[in-house]
Amino acid sequence: MVEETEYRSTYNAVNQRRCRFEKAVLTRRCACTCSTRFYLADREGISCDSSRAGERCNRFLQLLRGKARFALGVRTTDDPLPHAREIKVQNGGLLGLQQVLHPEPGNSNRIDDITGLLQRAENRYGSLEQLPYQEIVKAIVHFEGRPRSRTNR
């Protein structure tokens, strides 16, 4: 436990501006032109290179969590979500937004630039608050992460 506490302390010192979609980027399904990958001990982290993009991402992520609260069976968004639910919110939310912006068949199951996607969404809808969250939440609900490995314990 002490090692994890020391790791978190060092991580926070090294990563002054944490990527809000770090979990999604670490799944390798999403990328962002404003992110930088770094390594600490044997783990990877993602930092954000732009305060403006970070603020936009934070606002979108808070909206996603709030709009998906009922679908995820969560009463409040004040507490951190469990890892698997956070992965659903981040990946499913970004993929859902991409589907809303680009509904053509064969649309990629990968996000190449989170910042660009959010900029296009703001340009089209006027603000992140005006996005069609009922469609985006459907993608969150249907998102499936990696299947659990079957190891004998």
Q: Sketch the domain layout of the chain as residue ranges.
A: 52-142
pTM of the model: 0.87
- Rounded to whole angstroms, how far apart are CA atoms 116 and 105? 21
Residue for token pair 């992460």? 145
Supply the pLDDT for residue 77. Answer: 64
Enumerate the H helices of 1-153 as residue ranges: 2-14, 22-26, 51-72, 83-87, 93-101, 114-125, 133-142
- The pLDDT confidence band at residue 26, using thresholds 50, 70 and 90, is very high
- The pLDDT confidence band at residue 152, using thresholds 50, 70 and 90, is low
Considering only residues 147 and 116, tell me which one the structure prediction assigns the higher pLDDT: 116
